Structure 1
Amino acid sequence: MKHVTSRDNALFKQLKALTGSTHQRRKAGQSVLDGIHLAQAYVAALGQPASCVVSERHYDHAEVRALLEKIDSDKLVVLADALFAQISSVVNGVDLMLVIDTPAGHLPATIDTDCIILDGLQDAGNVGSILRSAAAAGIPHAFLTKGCAFAWSVKTLRAGMGANFHLNIVEHCTLEMLESRLAVPLLATSSHADAAVFDTDLRQPVGWVIGNEGGGVSPEWMAHVSRTVGIPQPGGLESLNVAAATAVCLFEAVRQRRASGG
């Protein structure tokens, strides 16, 4: 266990750089999980972190002690309370964070299972919410195109609530990278679709192309979509939030497969 009390300590400077800069996290190939619940989710799903950082005041907190029993002691860093306050973005929470090596996604040779393709989604909260819905619906793969919010940013991770640890997430994907590997039909939502998602057969694996918050699915990807589907909105609003619309589609597929015994 390391005990750090000085802001001039090299380890603290490294932690401050990681927590303060997406560029530094990308450069280091590491991500920061701020808060006890994300930390618990990571350890349960993937095991040991690169390091576990806790404040002096919460070192003996019951949830912290339970988690520390699962983490190798040489990975533990105890920070003075004032130092922890400088690197944490969680307000009124338990002072604990993990530094992890950012999981590297992989491109399967053949994509013949359900997947989501995020086409230029820029809002980290939406990306995290969609990843959360995808993981809950049993989707194994999430492919993010260039221009998407960083899947491992603090905001995305917070919105995802641990979903990242249950998905194969591949960033910076292009149509050229995925086109020859896709062995499932691609679907996208559209306000001009001929069929409602509830009237579309979703019992077999599909790939959902999810478009940018403002512009929707790009023409490049729309040209490869097999079918567009709509979501009935009797309330008369112009559109659903993209994360909400995605959840509707993913869980309609879940409903249909349960009904058919799949």
Structure 2
Amino acid sequence: MKQITSRDNAQYKELKQLATSAQARRKAGRTLLDGVHLCVTWLELRGLPEQCIVSESGLRHPEVVAIVAKLEARHAHCLQLPDALYEALSQVEHGVGVMFLVATPEKAVPQALHTGAVLLDNVQDPGNVGSILRSAAAAGIREVYCSPGTAFCWSPKVLRAAMGAHFVLDIYENADLAALLRNAPIATLATSGYAKETLYDVDLKRPVAWVFGHEGQGVSEELLAMARHRVVIPHLGKVESLNVAACAAVCFFEQVRQNQSRSK
């Protein structure tokens, strides 16, 4: 196992850039998966990382030791850092001292939607984006398309919130959502607090492209006009609207409910 002990090491400086800069992550096409859960899930679903980075104290943690043993048995690259250097990379408080360096998948955006999907229109909060990805994966949705203004899906905060959902989804960044909606051969559905049709009035027993928008402004007027259905989620309490991640979860699992009721 390779060891780095100096902050001036070129490889360490590169890791520090990836840990702290969204621009560096986008440019390099790489990111860091921080913590046991993300690392184990990547191993199970995607295979070996480019490199495993562990802290000195992490090598005394049984779960970290097990991960390193699996990697070394397959001749994967592992790097040990003193705790102080590792902690400068990690954004997880009280973590156990393991992260993976991985390449972020780059996929060409298809010209049309042919299966159930989620379209994120300028959703800027990383926690919301991660939560939506997690709910989408749990509901059996496979494709997610993000507008240029949406939070970068492979950022540390989105990765932590999604809890491994990235690894079972096809995620497309910088997508032209208008073009996708314009050419969509499947039902397209946007949420709006001003819609007259409710979520529960729509037949969801078919592939649907869901459109969710900015936390404060909602789905843009252009995309709202292009969606075949504009729906509202009825609520009883005196609140203006649901959080976008909560809204998405309600929509996804109403679709799950309808499909399960059809199969009975």
TM-score of the two chains, using structure 2 as the length reference:
0.94
Residue deviations 1:13-71 (CA, integer Å, cap 9, x gap):
22111111111111111011111111111111111111100011111321112222332
CA contact (8 A) 1:55 1:79 kept: yes
RMSD: 1.6
For residue 117 of structure 1, give the secondary structure of its aligned residue in structure 2: strand
Counterpart-to-counterpart distance in 2, 1:105 and 1:169: 8
For 2:90, the equivalent position in structure 1 comes to: 88
Counterpart-to-counterpart distance in 2, 1:182 and 1:228: 15
CA contact (8 A) 2:51 2:78 kept: yes
Residue deviations 1:113-145 (CA, integer Å, cap 9, x gap):
110100111111111111111111111100001
For 2:14, the equivalent position in structure 1 comes to: 14
For 2:68, the equivalent position in structure 1 comes to: 68
Q: Percent identity?
A: 47
Give 1:192 deviation, angstroms: 2.4
CA contact (8 A) 1:106 1:169 kept: no
Counterpart-to-counterpart distance in 2, 1:66 and 1:109: 43
1:38 aligns with 2:38: yes
- Residue pairs, 1:213-224, within 5 angstroms: 213-224=215-226
1:55 aligns with 2:70: no
Counterpart-to-counterpart distance in 2, 1:158 and 1:233: 29
- Residue pairs, 1:134-213, within 5 angstroms: 134-175=136-177, 177-179=179-181, 181-213=183-215
For 2:115, the equivalent position in structure 1 comes to: 113
Give 1:207 deviation, angstroms: 0.4
Aligned residue among 228, 231, 235 for 2:230:
228
For 1:124, the equivalent position in structure 2 comes to: 126
Counterpart-to-counterpart distance in 1, 2:42 and 2:179: 29
Counterpart-to-counterpart distance in 2, 1:12 and 1:148: 29
Alignment-mate amino acid for residue 103 of structure 2: D
Give 1:248 deviation, angstroms: 0.1
Residue deviations 1:77-125 (CA, integer Å, cap 9, x gap):
0111121122111111111111100111343454221101001111111
Which residues of structure 1 form unaligned runs of 5+? none
For residue 131 of structure 1, give the secondary structure of its aligned residue in structure 2: helix
Aligned residue among 135, 156, 164 for 1:133:
135
TM-score of the two chains, using structure 1 as the length reference:
0.95
CA contact (8 A) 2:112 2:180 kept: no
CA contact (8 A) 1:108 1:181 kept: no
CA contact (8 A) 2:205 2:255 kept: yes
Counterpart-to-counterpart distance in 1, 2:100 and 2:37: 11
Give 1:180 deviation, angstroms: 5.7
Aligned length: 262
Counterpart-to-counterpart distance in 1, 2:186 and 2:215: 24
